[in-house]
A and B are shown apart, each in its own frame.
Chain A
């Protein structure tokens, strides 16, 4: 009597392969990139003094009707140096206003940092105690937000802006939003 050869025994093997594939995909993802719940939500409003002219203030409402970038940085932030040349280059295109948010920093340090390495910002707002940072869900400086004409956050770059992120995501998004 010939027993029918069946492939049932392969099922655990396949299930195991599936599990391995799932975990392998998991390994390629960076657990430090926490998706922000603020995407497609109105950018939280704030009123902060400016770094270069402490008498003046800045509020996101000032830029209503424009597409703009909010770049959270600090003089103590090491990886801010990494993205800095790219931001300088970007600022020279005058594509959109780029506002710096100087996060939990000393004004003197921040000013020195900008004069040493160059100032890519249209203006810099000072978030000395980090409260505005919390409202924006900042947890790893640098972070960059793309905000549309209606004051809605459309994209958040966590960590330094890379050339790839700029060319593939941020610039096309800005072009799209400016239409």
Chain B
């Protein structure tokens, strides 16, 4: 057949009805909760990846474990506790606020406050110095005398 005939025929082809891709996971609700939890967790093998995104073997196992726990009806908090009891607070991207992590959470604000305090102190002193600097009347007379001599 001639190529032009193909083109003509293609114009009359019925639009094909494709189905939407089915999600790979059997249970979407479980999967969504899994992703929500796993995004907040660090993969221990590749530490800059989340548990949700990592392809490490251990990450896959841990996702399987979390999935099983969700199916068992555990709450998100229980799943997080399960992970923390094995791998420590380090697995959480947002470590809990407790005395050991106070410096981590509040340190930046403390330093900011110190910075602001120092800045305020320096600025105030500079203002005061500027206000005090005008010449004494004696110096003023001297300066005027010098200027007169020049002209």
Q: A residues bordering B, Cβ < 8 Å? A: 31-32, 34-38, 104, 129-131, 133-137, 139-140
Cβ-defined contact, B87 with A137, below 8 A: yes
Q: How many A-B residue pairs have CB under 8 A?
A: 40
Cβ-defined contact, B57 with A104, below 8 A: yes
Q: Which of A104, A129, A130, A139 contacts B87 (CB 8 A)?
A: A139
Q: How far is the CB of A17 from chain B (nearest CB, A)?
A: 16
Q: Write out the residue numbers on chain B whose beta carbons fall within 8 Å of the beta carbon of A31.
A: 47
8 inter-chain pairs at a CB distance below 8 angstroms, sorted by A residue, are: A36-B87, A37-B85, A104-B57, A104-B61, A130-B58, A134-B65, A135-B86, A139-B45
Q: Which of B44, B61, B62, B88 contacts A37 (CB 8 A)?
A: B88
How large, as a class, is the contact surface on chain B? 10 to 19
Q: Write out the residue numbers on chain A whose beta carbons fall within 8 Å of the beta carbon of B113.
A: none
Does B90 belong to the interface (CB within 8 Å)? yes
Q: Write out the residue numbers on chain B whose beta carbons fall within 8 Å of the beta carbon of A131.
A: 65
Cβ-defined contact, B58 with A139, below 8 A: yes
Cα of A38 to Cα of B61 in the assembled complex, Å: 20
Q: Which of A32, A130, A135, A136 contacts B47 (CB 8 A)?
A: A32
The prevalent SS among residues of A at the interface is: loop
Cβ-defined contact, B45 with A34, below 8 A: no
| Known A-B contacts A134-B61, A134-B62, A139-B44; A34 and B87 likewise in contact (beta carbons under 8 Å) | yes
Does B120 belong to the interface (CB within 8 Å)? no
The prevalent SS among residues of B at the interface is: helix
Cα of A131 to Cα of B44 in the assembled complex, Å: 16
Cα of A38 to Cα of B88 in the assembled complex, Å: 8
Q: Which of A35, A37, A139 contacts B84 (CB 8 A)?
A: A37
Cα of A162 to Cα of B84 in the assembled complex, Å: 28
Q: Which B residues between 37 and 82 are near A, CB-CB below 8 angstroms?
A: 44-45, 47, 57-58, 61-62, 65
Q: Write out the residue numbers on chain B whose beta carbons fall within 8 Å of the beta carbon of A135.
A: 86
Q: Write out the residue numbers on chain B whose beta carbons fall within 8 Å of the beta carbon of A35.
A: 88, 90
Cα of A10 to Cα of B44 in the assembled complex, Å: 42
Closest to B88 in A: A37
Cα of A31 to Cα of B90 in the assembled complex, Å: 10
Instruction: Supply 17 further A-B pairs (C-beta < 8 A) apart from A130-B61, A133-B61.
Output: A32-B47, A34-B44, A34-B88, A35-B88, A35-B90, A37-B87, A37-B89, A104-B57, A104-B61, A130-B57, A130-B58, A134-B62, A135-B86, A136-B86, A137-B86, A137-B88, A140-B44
